[in-house]
Structure 1
Amino acid sequence: MDITIENPNYASFRYHNSTAYVNYHDLVVSEVPMKAQLIPARSKINLTTSADFMVGKLIEDPNFWSDFAYGTLNLTSTATLPGKVTMLKIIKFKGTVNNGCDISVNISSMAVESKCLSKIKL
């Protein structure tokens, strides 16, 4: 999968190796490795990674078959990216970005729609 990470701030952010989690009704159904990267100030990067879904856990959930029949699976993802913020190439301090996404998968068209919210803690 391709993940686009946008940094709208005037400082760059370098995060450490991390793991994002995909949940279905509060049940973790996938872990997504995120390799360390630098996100320059006011720019976007594309991160290519893979997500191995635990299909057994997914179909054992009592909500799965009714959601499947309805035609939409709603998932959430969370990621915590600890790292370092750099301003003007000389001012450096620790920061953590917390990201949460609501993901909707349309079964028949295989279209995916997501809405994400990120917060940085310095």
Structure 2
Amino acid sequence: MADEHSLPFTPSKIYQRSDEEIATFKALRKERSGKCFVYVFAGIVILCLFTLVFALIVLRFRFPDVNLSSVAVKNLRLSNVGTASSSNSSFSATLVAEVTIKNTNFGRFNFENSTMSMLYGGMDVGDIGIGRWSVKARETRKMNVAVEVRSNRLSDTKNLSSDMMLGKLKLNSYARLSGRVTLLNIIKKRKITEMNCTMTLDLTRGAFEDLQC
């Protein structure tokens, strides 16, 4: 028997959205989609800029700089400085040079065996071997090398006597380093750098001046 006090079920009210609310919802949805597009586009632009800066700065291969920081003179010996005969004038000395190799790359620079030569009038008066070296990324390495220079290695001494009488000898130092720059332990590229320095040896003081590289 049915309960006399039971009430019939009341029909549920279904809320109908107005056209104004639907339009507002669509506008909000469109605005959110627009913002998402802007965020994605901005992210892509930032990523492209970062990649470009990374490629231009980090992945760019540069030539290492090789220079002479200083040159000291030891055991300077002069013969027949005051004579006019070029065949009798001669000199010899030990030059202690500090070579600096500045690696501005973001990768290690490994170079092969090389030779540094000292020149007078374009002719070789002494040279020294430079062994295999490695310079870390963004670092400068210094090397001390001793070069024996002798005028008896000259094939032409026509200007030697007059230069020695003036007390000034102009010398050149030349070296050519060939090696590889390695970036991220993956990318390798061969680089060749040269050093060409000029200097004047003051025979009176036994010291160099006007060192330029």
Instruction: Give the TM-score band, short-chain normalised.
Output: 0.7 to 0.9
Give structure 1 stretches of 5+ with no counterpart: 117-122
Rg larger in structure: 2
Tell me, yes or no, if the aligned pair for 1:77 and 1:100 is still in contact at 8 Å.
Answer: yes
Query: Structure 1 CA distance, aligned partners of 2:208 and 2:155?
Result: 19
Q: Is the 8 A contact 2:99 2:145 kept in 1?
A: no
1:60 deviates by 5.7
Q: Deviations over 1:57-105 (max 9, x none)?
A: 3596111111111111101121111111122443221111111111211
Indicate whether 1:100 and 2:204 are aligned. no
- Answer with 63-72 or 82-91: which moved more: 82-91
Provide the C-alpha distance between the structure 2 equivalents of 1:84 and 1:59, rounded to a whole number of angstroms.
36
Which residue type is aligned with residue 131 of structure 2? Answer: K
Q: Which portions of structure 1, spanning 4 or more consecutive aligned residues, are displaced by more than 4 angstroms?
A: none
Q: How does 1:24-43 map to 2 (within 5 A)?
A: 24-43=120-139
Higher relative contact order (CA 8 A, sep 6+): 1
1:120 paired residue number = none
TM-score normalised by L of structure 1: 0.81
Which residue in the other structure is 2:98 paired with? 3
Aligned equivalents of 2:116, 2:147: Cα separation in 1: 9
Higher helix share: 2
Q: After superposition, where does 1:73-112 map in structure 2 within 5 Å?
A: 73-112=169-208
**Match 1:66 to one of 162, 171, 174:** 162
Identity of paired residues, percent?
Answer: 25
> Which has the larger share of strand?
1
Aligned to 1:13: 109
* 2:151 pairs with 1:55: yes
Deviations 1:5-56 (A, max 9, x none): 1315124311111112111111111112111111223322221222122331
| Paired residue total | 116
TM-score after normalising by structure 2: 0.49
CA RMSD across the alignment = 2.0
